[in-house]
Amino acid sequence: MLFYMDTMIQLHVTDEISRLRAVVLGTAQSNGPTPKLQDAYDPKSAEHIKAGTYPLEKDMVPEMEAVAAVFEKYGVKVYRPEVIKDYNQIFSRDIAFVIDDKFIIANILEDRSKEIHALDYMIDQIDPSKIIEFPEAAHIEGGDVMPWNDYIFVGTFKDKDYRKYITARTNMEAVYHLQKLFPKKKVVSFSLKKSNFDPRENALHLDCCFQPLGKGKAIIHKEGFLIEEEYQWLVNFFGVENCFHITKEEMYHMNSNIFSISPEVVISEKTFTRLNTWLRKEGFTVEEVPYAEIAKQEGLLRCSTMPLIRD
């Protein structure tokens, strides 16, 4: 029994920025052929399928390995999914997430249901009493969920026509269920702008238009929010002087979807010139990586990482 306990993963994630100790990083290996247009999950992927510029495995694998090398540099334990042949396993944040010491399995699109089983070897190292599955009617993906100490920020889509949008991934049933699971936390939801056809008008997840950082800072895209009062709540929470506002074009290229290794260290895409300059001016260490090919699937660094342990 002692040996068993020693090998267990002691989950601990209370925010987006504390020093990272263990993480799941997706994989682009055996990613499969370019999908048919009707099989695209989001408008940006569809745009690149139509244009003949959809990313290739040979270009995405080195991008993900560059992130793995940064984690190695900082002594972070990295878990990778077991490779499923011809299957997209890049965006590990979608399939599960950790809040406090709970491992929450997301309710995701049916076509992606195999992804969680590629992590069975890792899940077997988690105390089964800490593993939570959501009710079938409560749809949720990790890109919409941000633990922030006493708060949980959640991106959602509140309108009655929720099911019309393949880009609407987290519903209000999931928000209510999160509040039941964590009654001592304040669950604050934000209704996001959705489009099945225009990636510049679509905030696929909360992390596509907002990201809290260390040093009291945050990245935000005003037009990603459907309700101005909800956007304003976030700006007031962090302070307008601490918010880096990104443009519609920067949102399209996923500038808010960077990843914190610690309150002082972030991983960012190397072409995010304006953002990376601001981050360094604010005292952050910026580890730049190439991730522009992966960004063509409407996801970036936060989307492809699932923290398990932060200090």
Q: Provide CATH code, domain 14-310.
A: 3.75.10.10
Q: Is the pLDDT of residue 2 over 60?
A: no
207-258: per-residue pLDDT in tens? 999 999 999 999 999 999 999 999 999 999 999 999 999 999 999 999 999 9
pLDDT of residue 36: 84
- Tokens 């002594």 locate to 75
- Of 108-117, 174-183, 265-274, the poorest mean pLDDT is in 108-117
Kindly report, residue by residue over 235-245, the tens digit of the pLDDT.
999 999 999 99
Token pair of 275, please? 């953002």
Tell me how far apart the alpha carbons of residues 266 and 279 are, in angstroms, rounded to a whole number: 9
Taking only the tens place, the pLDDT of each residue in 116-149 is: 999 999 999 999 999 999 988 888 999 999 999 9
Pairing of strands 20-25, 77-79: parallel
Beta pairing partners, 306? 24
pLDDT at 165: 44
pLDDT band at 1 (very low <50, low <70, confident <90, very high): very low
At residue 65, does pLDDT exceed 60?
Answer: yes
- For residue 197, what pLDDT band results from cuts at 50, 70 and 90? low
- pLDDT in the model for residue 31: 83
CA–CA separation, 147 and 219 (whole Å)? 16
Backbone angles phi, psi at 211, to 5 degrees: -155, 120
pLDDT tens string 161-176: 545 444 456 888 999 9
Residue 6 confidence (pLDDT) above 60: no
For 14-27, write each residue's pLDDT tens digit: 999 999 999 999 99
pLDDT digits (tens, 9 = 90+) for 295-307: 888 789 999 999 9
Burial (0-12, 13-18, 19+ Cβ within 10 Å), 69? exposed
CB 225 within 8 A of CB 206: no
Measure the CA–CA gap between 245 and 55, rounded to whole angstroms. Answer: 28
Domain ranges of the chain: 14-310
Query: What pLDDT was estimated at residue 4?
Result: 41
